Amino acid sequence: MDVWSYTLEGYNAEDTVINGNRFLIGNGYMGYRGTMDEWGRAELAAVNLAGLYDQNGDKWREPVNAPNGLFAKLFLDGKPVSLGETPALRHSQTVRFRDGLHCRDTDFGAVRIQSVRFASMAEPHLLASRLTLTFQKSGRAELLCGVVTELWDINGPHLFDFAYRRGPVLLAEARTGELSVPVAAAQATVCDFPRGEETEENENGVFRRIRFDAEPGTAYTVTLLSAVCTGLDGPEPGERAVFLCETARAEGFESLLAAHRAKWETLWQNSCVELRGCDEAARALNASLYHLHSIAPRHAGSLSIPARGLSGQTYKGAVFWDSEMFLFPVFAHTEPELAKSLLRYRIDTLPGALKKAAEYGFRGAFYPWESQEGGAEGCTDYNVTDVFTHRPIRTYFRDRQIHISGDVAYAFWRYYEITGDTSLFLEGGAEVILQCARFYLSRAHSRVDTDKVELLDVIGPDEYHERVNNNAFTNMMAAHCLSRVPALTEVLAGAAPGYMDGLIEKLDYQDDLRLLRGVAPKLCPVFAEGEVVEQFDGYFALEDCTPDTVRSRLLDEREYWGTNHGVAAHTQVIKQADVIAMMALFPSLFSAGTVERNWRFYEPRTEHGSSLSSCMYALTACRFGRSDLAWEHFLKTASIDLEGGGKHWAGEIYIGGTHPAANGGAWMIAVLGFAGLSLQAGELTLTPRLPPQIRSLRFTAAGKQITVTHDGWTAG
Ligand code: BGC
């Protein structure tokens, strides 16, 4: 098995949506779905842009899809040749993980269409594709290439006032509806055979018709180069896109491809985890890292990654806690500059978090549950639609999933712990931590009879139980956040004398400082050795049953399990790791025996209805020395996008796409779980617990080549 690529033979119309995700290519600036060259809106072809959002009327705000400048459709003797419409004798689609290439090879009998496509890692605005057409018999061929402006949108349209330019480079320009941000996509073509050409524009875009007399056996090669630029990148994006296409054409496909490959190679140098012993797992792990690299915003110094990456507009293109908990750890260990960029996004969006807290009557920073640009909250009060009544259901993720602020603060602290670098604190990270702590101070309640501090009416990671009191995970994150303020003061006293004093002064924080010293210990849940931690007050009194029992009660398979009357709400069945997630994040607080007891209690009660769940169970199983129990969770996590797994619906809302958190989770299980890597200020230790299926793991950490086998580990 080639562990560096994935190929699907044959065509099945039902897999079109999944394949769009599975075969996605991207470079952090944009994602291009794994669709055929000749496909369009109906097949969900999309060029999904990072960081540019738009709201149409009162529909959900979502990221913008750019016009598709890699469109090319063949007509043979006047008839369209298109997969799905035209019967194919053979068809295969491949994604190559090592160098980020998408390949298709379709034999329609009369003509064979092959194409190789990439989103340049070297030039983030550039997409390139090379089509090779080989004919069986002579005929009149016409290739319609161009920039398609008829776009797939979930809550669109988002682009208006289209203007086209024809000439050697085709250009489509438009503006977003809400903020009038210009978006431009250009296309240049290169053909090396005699042909006739003409250009045209219509309501679907701007096109070039390339006509030629096809000779049997001859391979006709057409190169398409497309550049996408927006007003967020700088002035005159249209001119810029045309210029980039012209430059790319002058450079040539081979040279562009070489630069793209070279960049991918450097990415793998630090991040590759060579897994020996199980090819299936090795390929899934490569695929996971491939997807992470494809969506990592290297072009920006401050941007994070949406929960469905750049695979489309699902989940409103929003950034969740997934970024801090599942993506940040990978980059903090392999590419710290990128990890910084993810956290800078939280520094830059602090104003949004302050505003949200104030809107709810709290102080400090309450980060959005679904963060869009500028820290705008994308999560609505009605985030799920009921499958029976078709009415929106009131969900409380936006207002009650308050662990998000603690998660953000946790990641800032982890960055410092892993790298020993305090610079992010000084860039604004310290202020983020102080403002998150302030939020919890204003959100907590003090109980007069027990002198305990409580967080009431919250939602923990397990979203099936809404509005609960004292969710252990949430209390723990909040307590940790509060305790980071004195810890930070201590660290910065040496690294940046006077900085904290200035900050405390600036934020008028003296009273909060006094308050939080007393509050943190009273809020922190108390854990007795060997005991099962109750997920929230009253959880143990709920009906004790399994996910299968709950599933058997569903009246519709798309029915939402959560909310007050959801099938899981009155049971102990949980959506995803919650107490176990807490144990994964705070390993030093729980003995292996305690983790194992909790694992054995909660695992059979967990639906794993989120792709974030299995990773936490796998990591904790490694901690108590049972990597054999982790193995299935690892495979499930790592292969989610190859298998087209994960949930596709929450009630009536489509939530499909790629799963970056699981991609990051796969790396975490392999490196932090199986290899047991721990980096503290750049110093590494390893506690390997390889499962029997893995013979060895090789990866780079702290500049050293690490090899882990069942006999131990070496660092060279
Ligand atoms: C999970 C959340 C997660 C979100 C985005 C939801 O289904 O419950 O924990 O942040 O998906 O991945």
pLDDT above 80 (res 140): yes
**Ligand 1 neighbour 612 (Cβ under 6 A):** yes
pLDDT above 90 (res 656): no
Q: What is the 627 CA–ligand 1 centroid distance (Å)?
A: 25
- What is the CB neighbour count within 10 angstroms for residue 276? 15
Q: What is the 49 CA–ligand 1 centroid distance (Å)?
A: 21
**Ligand 1 neighbour 658 (Cβ under 6 A):** no
What is the structure's pLDDT at 30?
98
Full-model pTM: 0.97
pLDDT above 80 (res 651): no
pLDDT above 80 (res 3): yes
- What average pLDDT does the segment 488-516 reach? 97
Residue with tokens 């292996």: 592
What is the structure's pLDDT at 261?
98
Ligand 1 nearest-atom number relative to CA 610: 7
**Ligand 1 neighbour 603 (Cβ under 6 A):** no
CA 578, 579, 585, 590: dihedral to nearest 10 degrees? -170
Using a pLDDT cut of 90, give the percent of the chain over it. Answer: 96
Query: Phi/psi at 390 (nearest 5 deg)?
Result: 60, 15
Burial pattern 479-508, b for ≥16 Cβ within 10 A else e, equals bbbbbbbeebbebbeeebeebbeebbeebe
Ligand 1 pocket mutation, candidates 459, 610, 649, 658, criterion most atoms within 8 A of CB: 610
Give the pLDDT confidence of 672-681 residue by residue, as tens digits: 999 999 999 9
Query: Does an H or E element contain 190, and which?
Result: strand 182-191
**Domain 5-269 -> CATH class:** mainly beta
Residue with tokens 């967990």: 606
Q: Which residues contact 524 (CB under 8 A, 6 or more apart)?
A: 475, 476, 479
Give the pLDDT confidence of 76-98 residue by residue, as tens digits: 999 999 999 999 999 999 999 99
Q: What is the 53 CA–ligand 1 centroid distance (Å)?
A: 20
Closest of 456, 476, 475 to residue 466, by C-alpha: 456
Structure tokens at 64: 């913008």
**Ligand 1 neighbour 561 (Cβ under 6 A):** no
Closest of 101, 128, 305, 95 to residue 228, by C-alpha: 128
What is the structure's pLDDT at 99?
98
Going by alpha carbons, the residue nearest to atom 7 of ligand 1 is 610
What is the spatial distance between Cα 285 and Cα 639, in angstroms, rounded to a whole number? 8
- 3-state secondary structure (DSSP) of residue 64: strand
Give the pLDDT confidence of 598-614 residue by residue, as tens digits: 999 999 999 999 999 99
**Ligand 1 neighbour 369 (Cβ under 6 A):** no
- What average pLDDT does the segment 708-715 reach? 97
What is the structure's pLDDT at 652?
75
Give the pLDDT confidence of 395-425 residue by residue, as tens digits: 999 999 999 999 999 999 999 999 999 999 9
Closest of 541, 623, 538, 617 to residue 575, by C-alpha: 617
Beta bridge partners of 25: 32
Closest of 204, 23, 192, 41 to residue 102, by C-alpha: 23
What is the structure's pLDDT at 649?
77
Closest of 184, 261, 260, 174 to residue 227, by C-alpha: 184
Q: What is the 464 CA–ligand 1 centroid distance (Å)?
A: 11
Cis before residue 87, ω within 30 degrees of 0? no
Structure tokens at 47: 């060029």
Q: Which residues contact 329 (CB under 8 A, 6 or more apart)?
A: 414, 664, 667, 668, 672
Going by alpha carbons, the residue nearest to atom 5 of ligand 1 is 307
Give the pLDDT confidence of 519-545 residue by residue, as tens digits: 999 998 999 999 999 999 999 999 999
What is the spatial distance between Cα 466 and Cα 553, in angstroms, rounded to a whole number? 20
Going by alpha carbons, the residue nearest to atom 8 of ligand 1 is 610
Query: Phi/psi at 545 (nearest 5 deg)?
Result: -150, 180
What is the structure's pLDDT at 648?
79
Ligand 1 nearest-atom number relative to CA 463: 8
Closest of 317, 333, 187 to residue 679, by C-alpha: 333
320 half-sphere exposure, CB direction, 13 A CA radius: 18
Sheet hosting strand 111-119, strand order edge to edge: 5-9, 90-96, 101-107, 111-119, 126-135, 219-230, 182-191, 169-176, 159-165
Ligand 1 nearest-atom number relative to CA 575: 8
Ligand 1 pocket mutation, candidates 291, 328, 463, criterion most atoms within 8 A of CB: 463
Q: What is the 657 CA–ligand 1 centroid distance (Å)?
A: 13
What is the structure's pLDDT at 489?
97
- What average pLDDT does the segment 63-80 reach? 98
pLDDT band at 653 (very low <50, low <70, confident <90, very high): confident
Angle, helices 627-638/660-667, rounded to nearest 10 degrees: 140
**Ligand 1 neighbour 321 (Cβ under 6 A):** yes
Distance between first and last Cα of the chain = 29
Closest of 91, 201, 132, 191 to residue 82, by C-alpha: 91
Ligand 1 pocket mutation, candidates 316, 322, 372, 407, criterion most atoms within 8 A of CB: 322
Q: What is the 79 CA–ligand 1 centroid distance (Å)?
A: 45
Give the pLDDT confidence of 17-41 residue by residue, as tens digits: 999 999 999 999 999 999 999 999 9
Beta bridge partners of 95: 6, 102
What is the spatial distance between Cα 393 and Cα 382, in angstroms, rounded to a whole number? 5
Domain ranges of the chain: 5-269, 272-715
Q: What is the 610 CA–ligand 1 centroid distance (Å)?
A: 6
Structure tokens at 288: 């996971």
| Segments in 468-509 forming alpha helices (H) | 472-495, 499-506
What is the spatial distance between Cα 646 and Cα 630, in angstroms, rounded to a whole number? 18
**Ligand 1 neighbour 322 (Cβ under 6 A):** yes
What is the spatial distance between Cα 438 and Cα 485, in angstroms, rounded to a whole number? 10
**Ligand 1 neighbour 607 (Cβ under 6 A):** no
| Segments in 158-278 forming alpha helices (H) | 237-251, 253-271
Residue with tokens 């470079």: 27
**Ligand 1 neighbour 560 (Cβ under 6 A):** no
- What is the CB neighbour count within 10 angstroms for residue 556? 12
**Ligand 1 neighbour 527 (Cβ under 6 A):** no
Mean pLDDT over each residue of the chain, to the nearest integer: 97
Which amino acid appears at position 398 of this protein? R
**Ligand 1 neighbour 397 (Cβ under 6 A):** no
CATH code linked to domain 272-715: 1.50.10.10
Residue with tokens 């901690």: 623
Query: Phi/psi at 116 (nearest 5 deg)?
Result: -125, 130
Q: What is the 481 CA–ligand 1 centroid distance (Å)?
A: 22
pLDDT above 80 (res 650): no
211 half-sphere exposure, CB direction, 13 A CA radius: 8
What is the spatial distance between Cα 386 and Cα 307, in angstroms, rounded to a whole number? 22
CA 693, 698, 700, 701: dihedral to nearest 10 degrees? 50
Catalytic residue positions, numbered: 463
Sheet hosting strand 704-709, strand order edge to edge: 274-276, 696-701, 704-709, 712-715
- What average pLDDT does the segment 232-261 reach? 98
pLDDT band at 565 (very low <50, low <70, confident <90, very high): confident
Structural contact between residues 677 and 706, judged by C-beta atoms closer than 8 angstroms: yes
- 3-state secondary structure (DSSP) of residue 666: helix
What is the structure's pLDDT at 637?
98
**Ligand 1 neighbour 439 (Cβ under 6 A):** no
- What is the CB neighbour count within 10 angstroms for residue 262? 12
pLDDT band at 440 (very low <50, low <70, confident <90, very high): very high
- Check if 5-269 and 272-715 are the same fold: no
Ligand 1 nearest-atom number relative to CA 308: 12
Ligand 1 pocket mutation, candidates 612, 616, 641, criterion most atoms within 8 A of CB: 612
Structural contact between residues 584 and 476, judged by C-beta atoms closer than 8 angstroms: no
Which amino acid appears at position 529 of this protein? E
**Ligand 1 neighbour 463 (Cβ under 6 A):** yes
